[in-house]
Structure 1
C-alpha cells in the first residue's frame, strides 16, 4: 500500500492530508488563532466541585472552565490514539469527588479532549508525555506494550529493554508505542532520555508557574504528524513550504534517523492539494450523501448525540439475486464507512444501518470487512454485532471536532435544522400575526415586509384569503417584498 503525507502551509493555517493509494484518508487542520489543546499540561485551579456529578470545573486559562471527572483523577493515564497498555493498573473504586478535590485547590492537569461545541475541555490528572517510540507516565511504574504489536517475542524484547532503561528509583512508567516495533535499544534509550528531561522541565515549571498557565505544549501539527504518522511504509512527506520542510527534516533527523530522507519540499506550480485532488475530496466530505462505485450510496447524518449512517442500493441492480446484491453493496459500504469516519473525523456513538441481510454468514463477512477496514484507523474503535433491528453499533474515540464542525457553522436561515418552513407555512404565520397585532394595538392599516417568495405567494395564490382577512379585521393590509429578508423572516408594521 502506497501512503503519502501532504502538508499545505499558509500564514494562519496548516492542513495535513494522509493519502493512501491516491485516495484521501485523513485530513488534519490547525489554525494559528485556534490551535487544539489536547496533550497540553496546565497548572489549574479548582473552581467548583459538584458532588452530584462526581466532577469538578477547573480554570486552566481557557475561555470556558474545563471538566474533570473523579474517574479521571485516579484511573491509569490515557495513551495515544491506537495504543493500549498491556499491563494496566488494577481498577480502583471511584472515591467521592469531595474527598479528592476542594474549591480553590491548585492542580496540574492534562487536556484529553478539546472544547467541543458548548462543552469545555476534558481533563485528567494522570499525565502522559509522548515521544516517537514511548509514552512516559509520571507517578506510576507500569511498563506496557501497544496491543498492535502482536509478536510475543518482540513484545517481550521491548518490555525488557524499556524496563532496563527506566531510571532506578524514579516513579515513572512507560508505554511502548507501535512505532517501536523492530527498533534497536539505542533508539529507545534516546527516547527515554528525552522524556526524562521533558518531565524534569515540566516539574520545574509547575513549581513556579502562575495559575491558568500552560506548562507543557504538544508539538505543532506538522511535527506531531511526523512523530505519530511517519512509518517506514510511508513513501513521501511532501511540504509546500521550504521553511516547514527544513524544520521537519531537522526534527526527523534528530529523532528518526533514516526517515528524514522521505521528507521533501514541493515546488510545483499547481497547489499541492489540487494536484492530488484533495480540495475536491474535502468538498465532498461536507456533503451528507456519499456515492459508492456500484451505484449505491451512504447518507451520513451527524447529530449532537450520535452519527447515523444509512446504506442504500441506489441504482445498483446486481446480477444474480436480491440477497447477493445487498451483500455486495454492504461489503462496499463497510469499506467506505471506515474511510469516511477517518476523513470526517467522526467520533462518539455511530449507528450504521446496513441493508437488511438474511444470511448469517453474509452478516459476519460484512462485520469482518468493517473491522478490517478500521484496522488502519489511528483512533480507537469498538464495533458490536448486528442488533435485533439489523443495526451495527460502534464507537470511535473523539478528541477534536469533526471536519464538518471545524469548517462549517449552522445555517443562518434554518438555524442548523437543515430545512426551511415552506412559503405556505410562513403565509399562515403572517396571517395569525396580523390578527394578534390588531387585537393588541390600534392602527389604521398594516404593512407586512417579507421575502419575495412569501410576498408573491400571498399576493397571487392567497389574494382571496387576504381580502377576507381585511374584511375580518376592518383594516387594509399592504405587502412589501425585501430581498434582505430570509424565507422564514417577516415583520408586521402598524401604520
Structure 2
C-alpha cells in the first residue's frame, strides 16, 4: 500500500484512526473512553498548592483532580479555565494547563497569547500575505492570538474565514465562562475528528472507512503491545514502561562486527520517536544503548536530535555517568497498553 492513507475504524470496541504511510503505521488515535481526555477544556477550581512539587491541584468535573504547574497569581478557590494536556496513570492527577488552545482544521486560537502567526511550513510569500490579511481581518480587536496551520495554504479563503470566526467565537465564550462549579466546557475531539483536523497536510491519498484488518493496522497495533521492536541486521530494542520511567534496551543480536553497536544504536534512534508516539509513552526515558566506543556518541546524538525534531515536546538530557542516555517526552496521550490491555 503506497501513499498516505487514513483509516477510520474501531478497535476493541473503541473508535480509532490510523495513519498509514507506504504501508507502515505512522500515527494512531484511539478513544480513551473517558470524559476528560487530552484536549478537553474545563472550568476548574484551584485547590491547595503542593510545595516542593511546583504546582497546584485543580478540582475538575466529575470529581476528577488535575495538576497545574503554572501557579503565579493563583489562589485557592479561584475559578480557572484549563485544558487537559496529556494522559496519566490511574490514580494520578490529570496534567492541565492554562495555555488553552482552540484547534480546528485551519486555525488555532490562543487566548492569552496575542499575535498572528502563519505556519512556517507555508513558504510562498504571496500565500503568506494572503493568509496574513485574512487573519488580520477576522482577528481585529481580539485579545487572543491566532495561528493559521499549513493546510490553510491549500484551502479556499471562505473556508479559512469560517474556521477563524468559529474558533474565535468559541474561545471568547468559553474563556468568559468562569462562574460556577467545575464543568466540562469543550469535549476532546474524537479520533475521527482529530484525524480530519490534524492529518490534513500533506493531504491523504485516500480515506477509508474501516480497513484496519485489511491494511495491516491491526497487526501493527498488536506488535505495539509487545516490548520487542525489531531493527535492522538482526538488532532489536526492548521498550518497557515502569511507574518511574520508560526503560529502553538496545541489543545488536548476532552481529559481532566492530560497527555492530553503532549500527544498532542509529537504527534505534531512528525508530524510537515513532515507537514512543504510537505506544502513547512519555515522561522520563532511559536508553541503554548497545556497547560502542565513546567516539561514536556524537553521530548517535546527532541522529537523536534529527529523529526527535518535530515530535511532541521532547528534551534530550544526555549521557549519565553509567553510560545510559536520558530524555524527556511529554505525555500527550493515554498509553496504548492501558487502553487495549489484553483486548486483542
Instruction: Please classify the TM superposition score into its range, dividing by the shorter chain length.
Output: 0.7 to 0.9
Residue deviations 1:421-457 (CA, integer Å, cap 9, x gap): xxxxxxxxxxxxxxxxxxxxxxxxxxxxxxxxxxxxx
1:132 corresponds to: 105
Query: Could you tell me how far apart the structure 2 residues matched to 1:231 and 1:278 are?
Result: 21
TM alignment of 1:176-255, pairs within 5 A: 176-181=148-153, 185-202=157-174, 206=177, 210-240=180-210
Q: Mean Cα displacement is larger for which, 278-287 or 155-164?
A: 155-164
Q: Which residue of 1 aligns with 2:243?
A: 304
Cα distance in 1, alignment partners of residues 308 and 153 from structure 2: 20
**Which residue in the other structure is 2:65 paired with?**
65
Residue 135 of structure 1 contacts residue 176 of structure 1 at CA under 8 Å; is this kept in 2?
yes
State which of 311, 316, 331 in structure 2 corresponds to 1:398.
331
Candidates 267, 272, 292, aligned match of 1:332: 267
Superposed displacement of residue 219, structure 1: 2.4
Bigger helix share: 1
Write the distance in 1 (CA, Å) between the matches of 2:127 and 2:324.
37
Aligned to 1:123: 96
Q: CA deviation at 1:117?
A: 2.4
Within a 5 Å distance, the mapping from 1:461-480 to structure 2 comes to none
- Partner SS state of residue 102, structure 1: coil
1:238 deviates by 1.1
User: 2:3 — aligned with what?
Assistant: 2
CA apart distance, 1:289:
2.0
Higher relative contact order (CA 8 A, sep 6+): 2
The partner residue of 1:350 within 276, 285, 290 is: 285
Q: Deviations over 1:186-225 (max 9, x none)?
A: 4442322121222244357x26x74122122232220111
Alignment match, 1:450: none
Deviation at 1:28, TM superposition (A): 1.9
Rounded to whole Å, the distance in 2 between the matches of 1:21 and 1:400 is: 24
* Partners of 2:35 and 2:187 within 8 A in 1: no
Shift, 1:36, TM fit: 4.8
Instruction: Tell me if the contact between 2:87 and 2:335 (Cα under 8 Å) persists in the aligned partners.
Output: no
Mapped pair 1:173 → 2:145: yes
**1:157 aligned to which of 103, 124, 129:** 129
Write the deviation string for residues 28-50 of structure 1: whole angstroms up to 9, x where unpaired.
2115x425522222222334344
* Contact 1:36-1:114 within 8 A present in 2 as well: no
Q: Does structure 1 retain, via aligned residues, the 8 Å contact 2:232–2:264?
A: no
1:276-315 map, 5 Å: 276-315=215-254
Q: CA deviation at 1:150?
A: 7.6
1:232 Cα deviation from its structure 2 partner? 3.2
- State the distance in 2 between where 1:275 and 1:340 align: 22
Structure 1 residue runs of 5 or longer lacking an equivalent are: 74-94, 241-271, 410-495
Where does residue 38 of structure 1 map in the other structure? 38
Q: Does 1:101 align with 2:75?
A: yes
1:227: how far off? 0.3
What SS does the corresponding residue of 2:141 show, helix, strand or coil?
Answer: coil
Structure 1 distance, partners of 2:124, 2:319, is 32
Q: Equivalent residue of 2:212, what SS? A: helix
Structure 2's unaligned 5+ residue stretches are none
Residues 376/142 of structure 1: CA separation in 2 closer, same or farther (3 Å cut): closer
**Change beyond 3 A, Cα 1:326–1:47:** closer
Q: Report the CA distance between 1:155 and its aligned residue.
A: 9.4
CA contact (8 A) 2:106 2:152 kept: yes
The structure-2 alpha-carbon separation of the partners of 1:336 and 1:171, relative to structure 1 and needing over 3 Å to count, comes to: closer
Larger radius of gyration: 1
Q: What SS is found at the alignment partner of 1:234?
A: coil
C-alpha contact (below 8 Å) 1:111/1:121 kept by paired residues? yes
Aligned equivalents of 1:154 and 1:306: distance in 2? 47
Is 2:122–2:153's contact at 8 Å kept on the other side of the alignment? no
| SS of equivalent to 2:302 | helix
Q: How do residues 430-469 of structure 1 correspond to structure 2 at under 5 angstroms?
A: none
RMSD: 3.1
1:11 CA displacement: 9.7
1:394–1:168 CA distance, 2 compared to 1 (3 A): same
Size of the aligned set, in residue pairs, is: 341
